[in-house]
Amino acid sequence: MASVSAETILQAGALSILALGLAAVIALTFLSAPYGRHARAGWGPSIGARRGWHLMEAPAFFGFVGVALYHLVGPGLRAPVDPASWILFALWILHYGDRDLLYPRRLRDPYRPMPLAVVGMGFSFNLLNGPPNGLAVGLERHPVAWLLDPRFLGGVLLFLAGFGLNRASDARLLRLREANPGGYAIPRGGLFTWVSCPNYLAEIVQWIGWALATGSLIGAAFAIFTACNLAPRALQHHRWYRENFPDYPPGRRALLPFVL
């Protein structure tokens, strides 16, 4: 039986992720993902948020690392590895090392119930997304000139800017969570001056940067999926703030300053 080529796996992975993005944007237009402030009954058994985040993000971290290292230093190595590949490897580890191992430790309400259905969906998506991105990074070789190519440089800068702003915005929210146990307050300062969900905006920017820097179809599919997943949730958060806080800043938008 002929073996399936890596290119076929990557194309199939990218198409599946794009299909899921379309499904997510349609589904999330009509219902909100039932965790955090949108949690509600009827979604089956739950686990604590800290364990949920660790579990959900594990395939993105460990799946990526395993597949990428197999091709970068393991038996799958076919050609000398270039610096751009290691930089891309490091960027993914920076994000998912934090998201899977550290972010759950920073949660101020680690036992807040998170439906297993949500964890299962996140886990499945990360299984579909992490290993193929690891395959793309592990297999692709770049000429030295790629290091100075505007797509690579711009992509890395966007990724790092998105990462920094995402973490800074999440940190503000986690401080609010600590100051308001069991309740919510209006976030202020930083990018919250302009939008309700700067953490989501920054996450989208980060993965657009990844798509540019990798120049890969699978990277582009992930960036599109992230926007399809987080834009509807930003609109739901924004609507929720307006309904629950009569003094919510009137000029603040949901996701894109002055636009959306």
Among 27, 93, 176, 256, binds ligand NDP (CB under 6 A): 176
* Residues within window 120-149 making contact with ligand NDP, judged by CB under 6 A: none
Binding to ligand NDP (CB under 6 A): which residues in 202-231?
203, 226, 229-230
Task: Reduce the DSSP state of residue 255 to 3 states and report it.
Answer: coil
* Residue whose C-alpha is closest to residue 50's, from 111, 101, 119: 111
Is 100 among the residues that bind ligand NDP (CB under 6 A)? no
Assess 47 for contact with ligand NDP (CB under 6 A): no
184 binds ligand NDP (CB under 6 A): yes
- Residue 185 near ligand NDP by CB under 6 A: yes
Judged by beta carbon, residue 92 or residue 200, the one nearer ligand NDP is 200
252 binds ligand NDP (CB under 6 A): no
d(CA 107, CA 175): 10
Nearer to ligand NDP, 85 or 126 (CB): 126
SS3 state at 256: coil
Token pair of 95 as six digits: 């994000």
C-alpha to C-alpha distance for 240 and 43, rounded to whole angstroms: 20
CB 234 within 8 A of CB 201: yes
Considering CB under 6 A, how many residues would be counted as binding ligand NDP?
21
- Record the tokens describing residue 179, joined without a space: 């100051």
CA dihedral 70, 163, 161, 152 (to 10 degrees): 20
**Which residues of this chain interact with ligand NDP, rule CB under 6 A?**
36-37, 107, 109, 112, 166, 170, 173-174, 176-177, 180, 184-185, 187, 199-200, 203, 226, 229-230
